[in-house]
């Protein structure tokens, strides 16, 4: 009886081991199966380029100061108007300045150095007016604004990532444009899967419920070119 019991336990352990191995093989097989384009995408797919343009930092909100939508100046900083110094610490300060912009526009002097943020959220320090003018000249030569501003994600939402090289899954909760832009940029070794449904808001206040990548790509394409990038926008969620 003791021998039979021992053999019986070995059989059970063997069955459990087979089940575990079988489950492990199924997981590995699911990874190498051709991904469903309605759920999974990589940085080479069209949808990534659209999302990157959609999540660019809009630098037009402070054009009354730096005259260039390619950058925005990080708060706080100081300006001088007719020998009087003002500290710009928030969007409210810009809004107050905008009320009297016509009378001030030719007298605003930025007090350097300042730190500026580009569309891709990279930063640099400008030490003088000449360095700012170089960027302004580049901005003026590049008349086409590639920001997609007529549709915005409603955060937060979740994204699953899978590292192709190391076969390592990761779960990320995305809370804003800057975070999403950085997550998708230059990540050729990653597969992404958005945890649908997600929501987006159009320029007219319409809220969309999106169920898959195809719907998201279609809605972004529908608004491309409708909204210009040179409008004064003072409600950017990713301001410094």
Measuring CA to CA, how many Å separate 231 from each of 59, 64, 149, 166, 223?
10, 11, 10, 44, 16
For the residues 66-73, what does the mean pLDDT come to? Answer: 94
Which residues are within 8 A (CB) of 43 and not within 5 positions of it... i.e. 6 or more apart?
184, 186, 187, 188, 190
Predicted confidence at residue 68, as pLDDT, reads 93
Q: How many angstroms separate the CA atoms of 125 and 147, rounded?
A: 23
Confidence band, pLDDT 50/70/90 cuts, at residue 230: very low
For the residues 181-195, what does the mean pLDDT come to? Answer: 90
- pTM given for the model: 0.75
Confidence band, pLDDT 50/70/90 cuts, at residue 46: very high
Is 191 within 8 Å of 41 (Cβ atoms)? Answer: yes
Is 170 within 8 Å of 163 (Cβ atoms)? Answer: yes
Predicted confidence at residue 37, as pLDDT, reads 59
Q: Which two tokens stand for residue 13?
A: 């352990």
Range with the poorest average pLDDT among 16-20, 182-186, 206-210, 211-215: 16-20
pLDDT tens string 97-144:
988 887 877 889 999 999 999 999 999 999 999 999 999 998 877 766
For the residues 192-201, what does the mean pLDDT come to? Answer: 96
Predicted confidence at residue 144, as pLDDT, reads 62
Residue 50 has pLDDT above 80, yes or no: yes
pLDDT tens string 35-45:
555 678 998 89
Is 239 within 8 Å of 76 (Cβ atoms)? Answer: no
- Helical (H) or strand (E) element with 109: strand 108-110
Residue 180 has pLDDT above 90, yes or no: yes
- Give the other-Cβ count within 10 Å of 56's Cβ: 22
∠ CA 156-49-201, nearest 5°, is: 40
Q: How many angstroms separate the CA atoms of 59 and 198, rounded?
A: 26
- The per-residue b/e assignment along 178-191, b for 16 or more CB within 10 angstroms, e otherwise, is bbbbebbeeeeebb
Look over the chain and give the mean of its residue pLDDT values, rounded to a whole number.
81
């Amino acid at each position: 009886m003791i021998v039979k019991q021992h053999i019986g336990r070995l059989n059970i352990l063997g069955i459990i081991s087979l089940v575990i191995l079988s489950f492990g093989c199924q997981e590995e097989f699911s990874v190498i199966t051709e991904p469903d384009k309605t759920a999974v995408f990589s940085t080479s797919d069209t949808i990534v380029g659209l999302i990157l343009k959609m999540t660019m930092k809009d630098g037009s909100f402070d054009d009354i100061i730096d005259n260039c939508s390619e950058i925005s100046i990080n708060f706080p900083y100081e300006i001088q108007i007719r020998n009087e110094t003002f500290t710009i610490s928030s969007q409210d300060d810009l809004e107050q300045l905008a009320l009297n912009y016509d009378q001030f526009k030719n007298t605003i002097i930025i007090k350097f150095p300042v730190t500026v943020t580009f569309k891709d959220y990279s930063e640099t320090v400008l030490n003088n007016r000449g360095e700012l003018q170089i960027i302004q000249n580049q901005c003026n030569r590049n008349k086409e604004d590639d920001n997609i501003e007529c549709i915005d994600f409603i955060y937060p939402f979740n994204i699953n990532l899978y590292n192709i090289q190391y076969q390592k899954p990761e779960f990320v909760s995305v809370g804003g444009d800057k975070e999403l832009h950085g997550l998708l940029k230059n990540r050729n070794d990653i597969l992404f899967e958005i945890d649908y449904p997600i929501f987006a808001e159009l320029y007219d206040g319409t809220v969309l419920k999106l169920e898959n990548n195809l719907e998201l790509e279609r809605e972004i394409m529908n608004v491309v070119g409708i909204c210009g990038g040179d409008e004064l926008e003072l409600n950017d969620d990713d301001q410094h």
